[in-house]
Structure 1
């Protein structure tokens, strides 16, 4: 999958300029949230659509991520449960969310601390016993049971190992996806049904 030209142009528009100072951007926000805590609430969104992958097709899907500059992502069921694995599977998208969240947290905190990064890579590996999803095997849970992250970074100047460990520790504390996985929220699912027939549609 390649980037849409409009997304590529947007990326180039900020990679070719001097990096901003995160403190300058965050100070007004911190002051605002201190006086108006309710303003600190944000809601991230994604939704699946069935225009490209029909609802009755069992092996593929299509998810739209974000609202400002939405990104279309084709989705495949993992071959370990009967799919094709020819597009990212949902577990890989979760791994991508975790990797990107920790990556951006490290970038911002390094900027705040005046640490100039020359290289950064965050790797995520999530492991699951798929017998749980296939409902086979005794007492096999559904979901990922292992998670391993690896951070590799280089800096432009000499930084002590304790200093860099403090950077990663701070990034872990502020990484929303990581902290969500460590202390998951209650998940509510709203349901809406419709039954279509010739000349008749009913909903409940």
Structure 2
């Protein structure tokens, strides 16, 4: 673990043990209509909200869109890939494991008949998600250490844990 990472996490661990309420954080994102609000195929999502750069979002061709920008399913896969990647890097640094390569690929399979209302018994949502982690560590790293890395990284990946044990989602419409 780098000195600054170690110091930051040690300080945070002590702080959260002393005051657990400070460990509760809120992540956020919002959308903004493109210049043509009537366009059902395009919008913008702003991670973290506020004045952060907006990302274009499109609609997948499987549900009638042009698929000329990442769709929400792509963003879900991206969130999982990013979280797996950062979790592995942080845990490896903490364990003193030197990574020489790390690539995370995520695929989500969805039967869009559910979303399109074609077949009522087909659920809306992903039927499966597969993560392929391609990891290389410095020569001589014991296989047992890599297995401990895998287990610890999976345990602390927030997005993976959320998908495996989903929270209740509340949607409020303001019309």
Match in the other structure for 1:46: 29
Structure 1 pair 68–40 and aligned structure 2 pair: CA distance change class (3 A):
farther
Match in the other structure for 2:63: 81
Match in the other structure for 1:134: 116
Match in the other structure for 1:29: 12
Gaps of 5+ in 2: none
Quote the offset at 1:144 in angstroms: 0.2
> What does residue range 1-150 of structure 1 map to in structure 2 within 5 Å?
20-50=3-33, 52-67=34-49, 70-150=52-132
Q: Which has the higher contact order (CA 8 A, sep 6+)?
A: 2
Classify the secondary structure of the residue corresponding to 1:71: coil
In the alignment, the residues of structure 1 paired with residue 99 and residue 169 of structure 2 have an alpha-carbon distance, to the nearest angstrom, of 37
In the alignment, the residues of structure 2 paired with residue 20 and residue 178 of structure 1 have an alpha-carbon distance, to the nearest angstrom, of 27
Gaps of 5+ in 1: 1-18, 194-204
Scaled by the length of structure 1, what TM-score is found?
0.81
Range 41-50 or range 59-68, more displaced? 59-68
Indicate if the aligned counterparts of 2:107 and 2:131 stay in contact, CA closer than 8 A: yes
In the alignment, the residues of structure 1 paired with residue 77 and residue 51 of structure 2 have an alpha-carbon distance, to the nearest angstrom, of 21
> For each residue in 1:27-54, what CA deviation from the matched residue of structure 2 results, as whole angstroms up to 9, or x when unmatched?
110111011000001001100012x343
RMSD: 1.5
Scaled by the length of structure 2, what TM-score is found?
0.94
Quote the offset at 1:162 in angstroms: 2.4
Classify the secondary structure of the residue corresponding to 2:66: coil
Q: Which is greater in Rg?
A: 1
